[in-house]
Structure 1
Amino acid sequence: MELENFFDLLQALEKKNDRLIHLLVGNGFSMAYDSTIFSYNALHSFIESIDDPDLQKILSVVETKNFELIMQQLDNLASLVTAFDGTAELKQQIEHASKKLKSSLLNAVNSLHPEHVFKVSDEAVESCAKFLNHFLGKGGYVFSTNYDLLLYWVLMRSSTISHNDGFGREALNYEKGMTSDEIDWSDLYWGKHKDNQNIFYVHGALPFFDAGSQVVKEEYSHSAYLLENISSRMDGGEYPIFVTAGNGEQKLAHIRHNQYLTFCYDKLSTITGTLVTFGFMFGKYDHHIIDAINKAAKQGMNAHPKLLSVYIGVYSDGDKKHIESIQHLFKVKVRIFDAKSVNIWGK
């Protein structure tokens, strides 16, 4: 495969007027903004600095900074303890350590984050919005597997992007003749606008909390920035909808236990046209995403509409070789492009 320039392939795709073009972003989207904040190295260093015996013990033994792999190893260890009739106390200790690592990872993402939306420059927002509009502006969808707020912030700040994440409010006391100032509005709950949704956080995100029968989105208040409100919820024992640990099957099981995540995953499984990926490398624990792509490719059998192709952005020769090695797993045409040719954040 030859590396293509992103804008060359986009121009060719846009000539196909009957084809929708969608976007899937992964951690590389955030790392392109600031790799010192959003890399596994940064998260590992943060967790390593936490004064906790269990976490220190785990990090001193494992030889990886890939938290998905670490948590998978802990799950496997718990299963082995059960299989060999180990003590319930030992299994409980391992499971407790796994939960602690997950919560620490979430706290790390939260704490390393830029303080608030206005820390992202106008130039960066404008550049990212221009990139997103290649998809959203022409009827496509944007899917994200990231937990952070960067995409959310860009959507909030830009006046040029027509977006809908499915959340909305209900009037709690509406009576005919009331002005908007007289109406008491509910929190932002998911579902009100899902029929027109075009933004999908497949693995959840920091602002989304499971409120039992509903999914609520945290927001800015007059007294605090969004990240402060999220931190306040977390300090109170609430945690965002956040899929991180396990292999592809375990991630999918987590997704299926939440109505919002299920909706996002099913939408990915039914897209048509072309999917462009940026910063998502289809790693060892991402087979559930490949499965969703293949489901989209199978719909409609030999006729339209169905997913016809996936264009995958790569940064290095190693990335390129990895995609070439797993190309056979996809039931659609796979092409690769040079991710460095995109310059999402205008740097």
Structure 2
Amino acid sequence: MKLETFADVLKAVGKYRNREFHLLLGNGFSVAYDPEIFSYNALHEFIDNLNDVDLSKILEVIETKNFEIIMQQLDNFSALIDAFGGGVGLKKKIDAASARLKKCLLESVKELHPEHVFTVPENESEACSKFLAKFLNTGGKIFSTNYDLLLYWILMRNSVSDHCDGFGRELENSDEFVPPEKQIQSDLMWGKNRDNQNVFYLHGALPFFDAGIAIEKEEYSQHHYLLENISSRMELGEYPIFVTAGDGNQKLSHIKHNPYLTDCYDNLCNATGSLVTFGFNFGKYDEHIIEAINRAAKFGRKSFPKLLSIYIGTYTEDDREHIHSIEHKFKCKVHIYDAKTADVWGRM
């Protein structure tokens, strides 16, 4: 299979002007901005420095810095204890360590994160917004599996036209006529603008909280940056919507138990046209994403409209070999392009 460039992807966008081109972002999008903050190595070091005896032992024994693998192995070990009638005390200890690891992972993302939107240099922010707009301008949608604020910041700071994450405010005293100055608006809640939504966080994100009867989005205030307000909620024991543990089936189960995540996933399942990925490596725990892509492709049936092709960005020869090895899993045309040729952050 020919290795294409991002210029080739853009040629396809220009050639098929009536086709939607969607974008799927993975952790590589954030790592491309700053690998010292967003890589697994940085998260691993942060958690290792917490001096939690049990977590330190786990990190020593399971010799990987991929937290999805670590949590999957803990879940497997817990299941084996059940299957073989092991000690209840040991199972409780493993389950508690797994829960702490998930909590610490979220804490580490928050603590390592840049403080505010203006931390991102203006020229890089603008370059990224132009990259994102290339897809939105085709009528396409943006899907992200990242938890951080980078995508949200870029879209908001640059006022990228027509982007919508589905959140909005409701009038709380709407049962009577109230002059504008006395109207009471709700917090930002998901659902009001879902019909126009074209930005989807498949695994949740730091600003999104499940309030029980509604999905709320935290925002910046007059006196506090967004990350400060998120931190305040976390200190009160509230945690953002966050899918990280388990294999593809377990992630999908988590997704299906949350209305916002379910809607995001369903939108990926119904994407038509073409999908371009950046920073997403289709690892062994991403089978639910491949399943969604194949649903969008109608599993290869001659039924239209459907997802016709996918352009997968890769960085290394190992990445390309991996995609070649799983190419048969995709039920649509697969292209591979060199992700290094995509100037996402304006540094080329």
Same fold (TM over 0.5): yes
Q: 1:19, 1:137 → 2: CA distance?
A: 11
* 1:21 alignment partner in structure 2: 21
**Which amino acid counterpart does residue 164 of structure 2 have in structure 1?**
N
* 1:308 alignment partner in structure 2: 308
State how 1:173-322 maps to structure 2 within 5 Å.
173-174=173-174, 175-176=176-177, 178-179=179-180, 181-298=181-298, 301-322=301-322
Deviations 1:118-148 (A, max 9, x none): 1111111110110011111221000000000
Contact 2:300 2:332 in 1 (8 A): no
Q: Secondary structure at the match of 1:45?
A: helix
Q: Secondary structure at the match of 2:297?
A: helix
Q: 2:242, 2:47 → 1: CA distance?
A: 17
Of the structure 1 ranges 190-199 and 294-303, higher mean CA displacement relative to structure 2 is found in 294-303
Distance 1:299 1:171, change over 3 A: farther
Q: 1:320, 1:208 → 2: CA distance?
A: 34
State how 1:139-158 maps to structure 2 within 5 Å.
139-158=139-158
Q: CA deviation at 1:221?
A: 1.1
Deviations 1:177-223 (A, max 9, x none): 612x3222110000011011000000000000011121000000112
Q: How many residues align?
A: 346
Deviations 1:11-30 (A, max 9, x none): 22321122111000000000
Contact 1:270 1:299 in 2 (8 A): no
Q: CA deviation at 1:312?
A: 0.2
**Which amino acid counterpart does residue 183 of structure 2 have in structure 1?**
I
Distance 1:84 1:177, change over 3 A: closer
* 2:136 alignment partner in structure 1: 136
Q: Secondary structure at the match of 1:170?
A: coil
Distance 1:185 1:281, change over 3 A: same
Q: CA RMSD in A?
A: 1.2
**Which amino acid counterpart does residue 46 of structure 1 have in structure 2?**
F
Q: Secondary structure at the match of 2:115?
A: coil
Structure 2: 5+ residue stretches without partners: none
Residue identity (%)? 62
Distance 1:299 1:84, change over 3 A: closer
TM (norm. structure 1) is 0.97
Contact 2:19 2:138 in 1 (8 A): no
Q: 2:300, 2:63 → 1: CA distance?
A: 45
Q: 2:292, 2:159 → 1: CA distance?
A: 32
Q: 1:189, 1:64 → 2: CA distance?
A: 38
Contact 2:308 2:332 in 1 (8 A): yes
Q: CA deviation at 1:300?
A: 9.4
Q: 1:283, 1:14 → 2: CA distance?
A: 30
